[in-house]
Amino acid sequence: MSSTDMGRPVAPSAGRSQHDADGRSDYDVVVVGGGAGGVGAAVGAAQSGAKVLLVEQYPFLGGAATISSVLSLCGIFDQRGEKVVAGVADQLLDRLREHGAYREKTMGWTGNRIVLLDAETTKLAYDEVTAAAGVDVRLHSTLIGAERLGDRVTALELHHRGGRETVRAAAFVDGSGDGALLAGAGAEIRVEPVERRQTSSLVCRFGGVTEDADLSREGTRAAVAEYATSGGIQLPRDYGIMVRLPLTGEIMAILVDEQVDALDAAALSRDEAAGRRQSRRYLEALRKHLPGWSGAYLIETGPQMGIRETRHLVGRTSLTAEDVLTSRKQPDESIARCGWPVEDHAGRGVTRYAPLAEQSWYDVPYGAICSSDTDNLWAVGRLTSAQADAYASVRVMGTALATGHAAGVAAAQYASGRPHDLPAIRAELRGQGAIV
């Protein structure tokens, strides 16, 4: 599909959702994971003319925004307010505007400019963006295996309520966040010890908070300190992001921290339960000691823990701390820009910020989304190949839309017989409105 067709509904081709008699189906590009990176990849590939399947285990798209209530789209702007991500991201933001749910906010103590989200509108917007591009979306479907021949992935095995299904394709993108496809395909990955991974947060949404309520860092710190003094309970974090969401007026609070091994189901189950107990203590502290919170109540946690770090892609190249902190420009290699500072959740209750040089942006090189040992496999979002400090910047959702968009274009071109032609990838991204 040409760039002039973007935003208009495209009817799926007749064979796009049909299966062979043996339960197999064929696509040009298959994307695993329906979060920001996966949707960016699927739409970018479809707009490049590929026949695309997007696989998501949950019953809706949106990734961390919709399953973990991380309702803040970070990375669309750098700290000066300059827009650094467009393309598929613009299509999503336009849908939010059409539904009256677009709201920006500059965080006073960091200067970060974010886009606040409404959960239900975000689900709908992702549905609309993928449908307009002609992407086949398969919800309720979990990757359970991958077939590999030499240095290429050839097929995936999915499981859903109807049973098992094999899907073949020429190119694949992992947008799962946890590297499910990388691991299943036997691609090279890196996994840090649990104690060196960034913490995960169980996001809380609160109602009953007055319009003039205190949401400040200073107020939160004072309330948590008073709670510890009066009740003898020391909470891990004494401040965090607290913002009022569009449409509902709910308060999103990122306060509950756990050092989670999200690759261990037993540990994750235990730590999510601990996080829910922790959320009740925060509610009690805020109700007792923060102005405007006396009538507050907990609407929802999660539902899933907001997971920041599990597996990492080992790419052809990796972003370094120097690349990020010096706002390094790599115009011949770039497929995306990132203007988010280093935001390292280095332990329970700890967040370390480090600004980029001149509060600007850096380029994400193509090699950082390409598997080092699997020729037709890309990985995006928080899977982008990066050293620790660089990872703490590039992992955010706005940047994931951009790295995903690039991987989708690259995968579509690979499927059409043009593997890893970076000038052609960059030209197509610009044609689709991306910033590179």
Assess whether 177 and 69 both reside in one domain. Answer: yes
User: Which of 301, 322, 340 delimits the end of a domain?
Assistant: 301
**22 has a pLDDT exceeding 90:** no
**362 has a pLDDT exceeding 80:** yes
Residue partners of 370: CB distance under 8 A and separation at least 6:
315, 316, 377, 378, 410, 420
Q: Residue range 26-43: average pLDDT?
A: 98
Say if 436 falls within a structural domain.
Answer: no
Tell me, what's the pLDDT at 7?
A: 35
Handedness of CA 171, 6, 115, 128 (dihedral sign): negative
**12 has a pLDDT exceeding 70:** no
Assess whether 295 and 320 both reside in one domain. Answer: no
Nearest to 361 by CA among 59, 5, 75, 57: 75
Tell me, what's the pLDDT at 24?
A: 63
d(Cα 59, Cα 99) in Å, to the nearest integer?
21
Angle at 248 between CA 247 and CA 254, to 5 degrees: 110
Structural domain that includes position 74: 3-193+309-431
Model confidence, pTM = 0.94
Assess whether 42 and 183 both reside in one domain. Answer: yes
User: Which of 301, 329, 345 delimits the end of a domain?
Assistant: 301
How many domains in the chain?
2
d(Cα 425, Cα 436) in Å, to the nearest integer?
10
Q: Residue range 121-144: average pLDDT?
A: 98
**10 has a pLDDT exceeding 90:** no
Tell me, what's the pLDDT at 5?
A: 37
Tell me, what's the pLDDT at 271?
A: 96
User: Which of 301, 325, 360 delimits the end of a domain?
Assistant: 301
Assess whether 24 and 170 both reside in one domain. Answer: yes
Helix (H) or strand (E) holding 362: strand 362-365
Between residues 19 and 140, the one the model is more confident about:
140
Q: Looking at 68-176, which runs of residues are DSSP E strands? A: 72-73, 103-106, 113-116, 136-138, 142-149, 152-160, 163-174
Share of the chain above pLDDT 90, in %: 92
Tell me, what's the pLDDT at 413?
A: 98
Tell me, what's the pLDDT at 110?
A: 76
**118 has a pLDDT exceeding 70:** yes
pLDDT (tens digit per residue) in 224-245: 999 999 999 999 999 999 999 9
pLDDT (tens digit per residue) in 293-342: 999 999 999 999 999 999 999 999 999 999 999 999 999 999 999 999 99
Q: Residue range 430-436: average pLDDT?
A: 98
**183 has a pLDDT exceeding 90:** yes
What is the distance between the terminal CA atoms of the chain, rounded to a whole angstrom? 20
Q: Residue 79 half-sphere exposure, CB side, CA atoms within 13 Å?
A: 22
Judge whether 404 and 174 are in contact, CB under 8 Å.
no
Tell me, what's the pLDDT at 380?
A: 98
**6 has a pLDDT exceeding 70:** no
Assess whether 255 and 325 both reside in one domain. Answer: no
Say if 214 falls within a structural domain.
Answer: yes
Assess whether 250 and 106 both reside in one domain. Answer: no
**286 has a pLDDT exceeding 60:** yes
Can you state the angle between helices 422-431 and 397-415, rounded to 10 degrees?
A: 120
Tell me, what's the pLDDT at 266?
A: 98
